[in-house]
Chain A
Amino acid sequence: GEDVEQSLFLSVREGDSSVINCTYTDSSSTYLYWYKQEPGAGLQLLTYIFSNMDMKQDQRLTVLLNKKDKHLSLRIADTQTGDSAIYFCAERGYQKVTFGTGTKLQVIP
C-alpha cells in the first residue's frame, strides 16, 4: 500500500530556513500536499504540487519534488515562531489522501 514517511522533529532558530523532508512510495501519485496542524486545531492546507512539476514557490514556502526518488521537501524561509506546528506531507491517490507521520517544527526565538 501507499506509505509516506517523514522525520519526526525539526528545531530551527527564528529567522533561519526550515527544510522538512518527506518520502513516499506511490509512483502513481498525481498531487502531493503539505498541511500544517497547530496544537488542538485542524489541518490547514499550505501548498501542493503536481507531479509533473519539480518546484513550486509561494511566498516564504518552496516545495521541491524529486519524482524519480519520490522525495518531497518543504522549505520555509525566514522561519517565525508562528510557524511552530506539525507539518504533514500527503499524497493523493484515487480519492483518499495518505498522510505522513508529521514533522514537529520547533522554532527557537
Chain B
Amino acid sequence: EPEVTQTPSHQVTQMGQEVILRCVPISNHLYFYWYRQILGQKVEFLVSFYNNEISEKSEIFDDQFSVERPDGSNFTLKIRSTKLEDSAMYFCASSPMEGGHQPQHFGDGTRLSIL
C-alpha cells in the first residue's frame, strides 16, 4: 500500500539554525499537510497546501515557517532560526482530494531536537 515517507527520521539542530524537513506524499494525492506533536501533547495542525499554495494555516505557522513543493514529489517544511520550543515530532500527511471523506494519510514523522 502506498505510504507517505518522511526524512530524516531524527534531526538534531543547534538553536538558531535553519532546518528543512522532507516529505514524499502518496503519488496521486493533491493535498498536503504538516502537523506537529510536542512530546506528551496533542497533535497540532500547522498548514495545508494545495495547488502550490497554502490553503489553511494555524496560528502556530508564523513567519518562522514556510512550505514548498520544489518538484513533483517532495513537500518540505522549513523552520528558520529554530528555538528550543520547536523540538517536536513533525508529521506530514496527504490526501487525494479535499473533503472529509478522504482521510489524511500520515508519515512516520521526523523527530526534531533543538539543542
Tell me the A residues contacting B by CB distance below 8 Å: 29-31, 33, 35, 41-45, 48, 50, 88, 90, 92, 94-102
Contact = CB atoms under 8 A, between A and B. Distances in A.
B48 A33 contact: no
B75 interface: no
Given A31-B100, A45-B106, A96 B42 contact: no
Interface residues of B, number: 25
A97 B45 contact: yes
A25 to B, nearest CB: 14
Contacts of B100: 29-31, 50, 92
A42 B108 contact: yes
A39 to B, nearest CB: 12
Interface of B: 31, 33, 35, 41-45, 48, 55-56, 58, 91, 93, 98-101, 103-109
A91 B106 CA distance: 15
Nearest to B9: A40
B33 A45 contact: no
Contact of A42 (B42, B48, B103, B106): B106
